[in-house]
């Protein structure tokens, strides 16, 4: 992974998180339907899936070459943001529901009748398993983490285990995840394939491939790809599923392969730092923005379509999510170190030397 490619993928990652934010902000109860024409939230999630597969393949080849290192990194990455997101969601949902229960009623598609059970199932990523469909409070974006976490487990079993243990763990993980989660696994695997095959493309074809993918994506969105391949809703399928998911995933994967074979220009230092900084908040922005949008949509005075209401809700929710994420996400390194110490204590392994600690930090 070159520094240039890493920066461009960082920009893509933050752009996807921002697209999810805008798609949720554009709903009628939050902004009176501002930007209602924009419906890129699901496409952005598919971008996340492909990027996730690409990055996981990269780190497992370079940085996280043992099951311990891989597992600790994934757990720290997830729970460093999930735990604060749970606390924030529960707190804001409680206050917002007390102020205006209408914005937190089941008519919006989310129930708080069994909140403790919903949080517990979500904490172990069973919120989308089989025919279960629950969320941790009013935090809609969390649905995709149930998918991604099980993809991490399946990948770890396939790469780091051998023989019967590998078969047993893969089968057990697949049974726990259920068919709905496994249905979108090919999209995530497209990211793995993009990493594996990126060097197979002649570099002279990098730019044409990027242009073809962009043109294909624009054409697909213009004709309404999701509706074009629409499938009737079912409890056995991912939410809002259509065969368009696989087409979009393939276009994103090929786009990344093309980028990897292009002569990419680096921007100035300031812009690079800005992109890196924003990308470092993308996971937090993704997981924190929805409860903030619901809360500020409730407490900010005025009708949703009033100009001041729209500006305040947009700024407070976006600024709050990015600000909190910038405080939360850097703590994953500390959490990883704490998890490593706890694991070594449990396994009665000697603590790593000072040199090893520096290498693992």
Model confidence over 323-344: pLDDT tens digits?
999 999 989 999 999 999 999 9
Q: Which long-range contacts (CB under 8 A, 24 or more apart) does 228-231 make?
A: none
Residue 264's CB is within 10 A of a number of other CB atoms, namely: 15
pLDDT beyond 50 at 355? no
Q: What percent of the chain has pLDDT over 90?
A: 70
Mean pLDDT of the chain: 89
pLDDT tens, 229-248?
666 667 778 877 888 899 99
Name the one residue in this structure whose structure tokens are 């172990």: 124
pLDDT tens, 342-352?
999 988 877 65
Three-state DSSP state, 230: strand
- Across residues 88-107, what is the average pLDDT? 83
CA atoms of 2 and 263, how far apart (whole Å): 11
pLDDT at 65 (0 to 100)? 92
pLDDT at 62 (0 to 100)? 92
Q: 305, 32 in Cβ contact below 8 A?
A: yes
pTM tops 0.85: yes
Among residues 83, 45, 143, 96, the alpha carbon closest in space to that of 313 is found at 96
105: Cβ contacts below 8 Å, ≥ 6 apart: none
pLDDT at 221 (0 to 100)? 80
CA atoms of 357 and 136, how far apart (whole Å): 35
CA atoms of 180 and 130, how far apart (whole Å): 6
* Lowest model confidence (mean pLDDT) among 26-30, 246-250, 357-361: 357-361
CA atoms of 248 and 41, how far apart (whole Å): 13
- Going by pLDDT thresholds of 50, 70 and 90, the confidence category of residue 31 is confident
CA atoms of 261 and 99, how far apart (whole Å): 53
- Across residues 294-301, what is the average pLDDT? 90
pLDDT tens, 263-275?
999 999 999 999 9
Cα Rg of the chain, angstroms: 21
């Amino acid at each position: 992974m070159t520094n240039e490619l890493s920066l461009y993928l960082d920009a893509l990652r933050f752009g996807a998180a921002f697209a999810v934010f805008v798609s949720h902000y554009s709903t009628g109860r939050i902004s009176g339907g501002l930007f209602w024409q924009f419906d890129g939230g699901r496409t952005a999630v598919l971008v996340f899936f492909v990027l996730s597969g690409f990055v996981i393949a990269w780190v497992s080849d370079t940085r996280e070459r043992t099951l311990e290192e891989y597992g600790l990194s994934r757990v720290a990455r997830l729970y460093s943001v999930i735990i604060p997101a749970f606390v924030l969601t529960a707190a804001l949902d409680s206050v917002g529901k007390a102020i205006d229960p209408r914005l937190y009623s089941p008519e919006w598609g989310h129930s708080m009748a069994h909140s403790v059970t919903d949080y517990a199932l979500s904490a172990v990523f069973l919120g989308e398993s089989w025919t279960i469909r629950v969320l941790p409070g009013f935090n809609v974006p969390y649905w995709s983490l149930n998918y991604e976490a099980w993809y991490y487990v399946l990948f770890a079993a396939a790469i780091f285990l051998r023989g019967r243990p590998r078969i047993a763990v893969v089968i057990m993980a697949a049974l726990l995840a259920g068919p709905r989660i496994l249905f979108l696994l090919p999209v995530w695997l497209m990211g793995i394939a993009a990493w594996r095959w990126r060097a197979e493309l002649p570099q002279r074809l990098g730019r044409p491939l990027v242009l073809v993918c962009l043109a294909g994506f624009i054409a697909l969105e213009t004709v309404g790809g999701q509706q074009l391949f629409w499938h009737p809703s079912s409890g056995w399928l991912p939410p809002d599923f259509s065969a368009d998911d696989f087409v979009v995933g393939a276009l994103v994967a090929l786009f990344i392969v093309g980028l990897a074979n292009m002569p990419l220009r680096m921007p100035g230092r300031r812009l690079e730092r800005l992109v890196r900084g924003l990308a470092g908040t993308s996971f937090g922005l993704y997981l924190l923005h929805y409860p903030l949008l619901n809360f500020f949509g409730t407490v900010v005075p005025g009708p949703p379509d009033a100009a001041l209401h729209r500006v305040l809700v947009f700024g407070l929710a976006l600024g709050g999510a990015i600000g909190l994420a910038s405080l939360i996400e850097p703590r994953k390194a500390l959490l990883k170190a704490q998890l490593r110490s706890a694991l070594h204590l449990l396994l009665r392994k000697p603590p790593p030397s000072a040199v090893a600690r520096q290498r693992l930090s």
